[in-house]
Chains A and B, each alone.
Chain A
Amino acid sequence: DTGVSQNPRHKITKRGQNVTFRCDPISEHNRLYWYRQTLGQGPEFLTYFQNEAQLEKSRLLSDRFSAERPKGSFSTLEIQRTEQGDSAMYLCASTGTGGSNEKLFFGSGTQLSVL
């Protein structure tokens, strides 16, 4: 499978716990994006990496959220001290073969439920 891979698919946690999600982008893609989608809404941008550099962070990304892409390949998104409002689907996408207009390829997402 050469698509974007996300793990885990589902995560149930108790409020206050820390969670970490992983994203493996398409191998030749150097750009990686995290989005969050809640019920009835479209995906909302969280953060963007070009290789290992985190170039943009949304205001949605509070201090409890941190994302890394240490070697420019896979990425992790950590949420500390989870709150019920963090319950959402977290989507990872990648692109970056150098074209002028490129579409994002999304993974299947990690569905987070905070109890």
Chain B
Amino acid sequence: DQQVKQNSPSLSVQEGRISILNCDYTNSMFDYFLWYKKYPAEGPTFLISISSIKDKNEDGRFTVFLNKSAKHLSLHIVPSQPGDSAVYFCAASAWYFKKSSGDKLTFGTGTRLAVRP
């Protein structure tokens, strides 16, 4: 079962505009959420994270919003730049399982973002 879902496989945005990437999760035990960015033939690189005790976290052009009641999070990129073109993965972990699983992440299937010049 897919515990972390990214229902939009792709997104195309004009340079300078806002990109909004969405993610839904089903496991109520998840309490830490991350966004990773991946270029072809490379490993995922960490972008931004949010703990379940917060509803917003901001880092420069990137903001992540968390709606726990809806089990939904989103990543906003403003303004979007051509260099942001990549696949973005939403991921989640659960502190409850840290003893047995460490910081194991469960990933979504990714959204491919294309930023048009």
Contact = CB atoms under 8 A, between A and B. Distances in A.
A65 to B, nearest CB: 17
Contacts of A103: 34, 46, 49, 103
Contact of B95 (A44, A91, A100): A100
Given A42-B109, A108-B41, A111-B41, A95 B32 contact: no
B42 interface: yes
A112 to B, nearest CB: 13
B103 A104 contact: yes
B43 interface: yes
Contact of B42 (A48, A95, A96, A108): A108
A59 B21 CA distance: 30
Given A43-B44, A43-B89, A55 B49 contact: no
Contacts of B49: 101, 103
A107 interface: yes
A33 interface: yes
A31 interface: yes
Interface of B: 4, 6, 9, 32, 34, 36, 41-46, 49, 51, 89, 91, 93, 95, 100-110
